[in-house]
Amino acid sequence: MLDINQLHAHAERIRASGVLGRSRLIRRLFEFLVDCSLTGRAPKEIEVGIDVFGKDAQFDVSQDAMVRVYIHKLRRKLEEFYAGPGRGDPERLIIPKGAYRFVIEPAEVAEAAEPPPVGGRRSWVPTVLAASLLINVLALLTFGYLRWRSAPDGLSALRASPVWSRILNDDRTIFVVLGDYYIFGETDPSMQVQRLIREPSINSPADLDQYLMMHPELGSHYLDLQLNYLPTAAAYALRDVMPLLAPAHKRIRVAMASELSPAVLTSANVVYIGYLNGMGMLHDLVFAGSRFSEGKTYDELVDHVTGRHYVSEAAVPRGEEKYHDYGYFATFSGPGGNQIVVISGTQDVALMHTAEAVTQSQTLGELTSSAQGAQSFEALYDAYGMDRMNLGGKLLLTAKLNTSRIWTGEPRDAVTAVAGGPARALK
């Protein structure tokens, strides 16, 4: 007979470990099976489909493998727990084959029942990516620390610029926010990951769950790996920005755009570094008060004052031919007196150029002069690249941002277009 106290203890430790990840459906399935096991209920597959996944009474388990796929995923989560935090546990929580409930088995019995990896292989992709990310983060933080310790006095003039002084000259926490992207795995019939997928319309585990509910035929092919990635250029841009923020290093927090919350955006100072399409919830705020919007592609800006489309050429293979990429900068105040800075671009070259432009004396001076004292403004850069290398660029235009529209959500067509035109044409 199942020991209820033991089940409670196992379930609580598994929850607290975080091994269930961010997938809403995995957590819902886990809690459903816990409740069923506590009450002695042995549900059928169709009941799981209806109660956990929102299927209707016409749910055909012979045609839709969603329940079996998620049971498989949950078993993997349990294996992960008992290979890590629960390694020394004498007993384990398992889901018996062909059943939809939990039982508790001695560790040696549970291990003997686990099928070996197909062909002796393990899913190595997440491990390799996690190790690579850790190495790069450690290297970047070490390099940044050395830059902080050895920052030259010439940075003082840059820090005095209105762009940076508004952030540095108060005691708010500074969130350096990196634009990240959610990726998931495509698996073979044995549930081994074969490749990683980035789908712009799927930006979180919840999005993936929703997508699979709409496309159940793909349920056995896609797997949440709890992985996010950053563009290469973000590291180079971070290298340029961090020395400027050195005096406030005790107040700096590094976060991913996917982790942003409204509380941070309305109370803390924020410096965003990343692609235009990686801003997360910051995206709608920025473009609400802008003369620009993103085009139909993910590397295009549309100027609603002139009607011009600025399309990055970085995605088209050009060998040693020079191409254009477009950088975007914005700075504006938040409702709590906080300041938000956006250093961005359509692709790598533009992001790198924008970061350089706002962290070097000559180009930062050109930008602030063009702003003519405006506290909230945006700028567009034309960056020149070759083989993903930044060759330089120029400031195309600056324009005031409508901060009222940013924070009130007032529609664009209810407000006169913001001033624009060539650089230095702010009005």
Instruction: State the angle between helix axes of 348-357 and 232-241 in degrees (0 to 180), rounded to the nearest 10.
Output: 0
Question: Residue 72 maps to which CATH number?
Answer: 1.10.10
The 10s digit of each residue's pLDDT in 165-212 is 999 998 899 999 999 988 998 888 766 788 899 887 788 887 888 888
426 belongs to a structural domain = no
Domain of residue 216, residue span:
181-228
H helix count then E strand count, the chain: 15, 15
Is residue 427 included in any domain, yes or no? no
Residues 161 and 308 in one domain: yes
Q: Is 330 in the same domain as 393?
A: yes
Q: Give per-residue pLDDT as tens, 3-46.
A: 788 888 889 999 988 888 878 888 899 999 999 988 888 899 99
CA distance 51 to 38: 16
Distance CA 105, CA 384 (A): 63
Q: Is residue 322 part of a domain?
A: yes
Q: Are residues 243 and 267 in the same domain?
A: yes
pLDDT digit string (tens) for 50-109? Answer: 898 888 888 887 777 778 888 888 988 898 888 888 888 888 999 988 889 898 888 776
Cα-to-chain-centroid distance, residue 147:
26
Whole-angstrom distance, CA of residue 163 vs CA of residue 166: 6
Answer whether 391's CB lies under 8 Å from 384's CB. yes
Rounded to whole angstroms, the Cα distance separating 200 from 157 reads 40
Beta-ladder partners of 185: 196, 223
Collect all residues with Cβ–Cβ distance below 8 Å to 195 and sequence separation of at least 6: 185, 186
* 83 plus 202 within the same structural domain: no
> Against a cut of 0.85, is the pTM above it?
no
Q: Does 336 lie in the same domain as 238? A: yes
Token duo for residue 54: 């929102």
**398 and 282 fall within a common domain:** yes
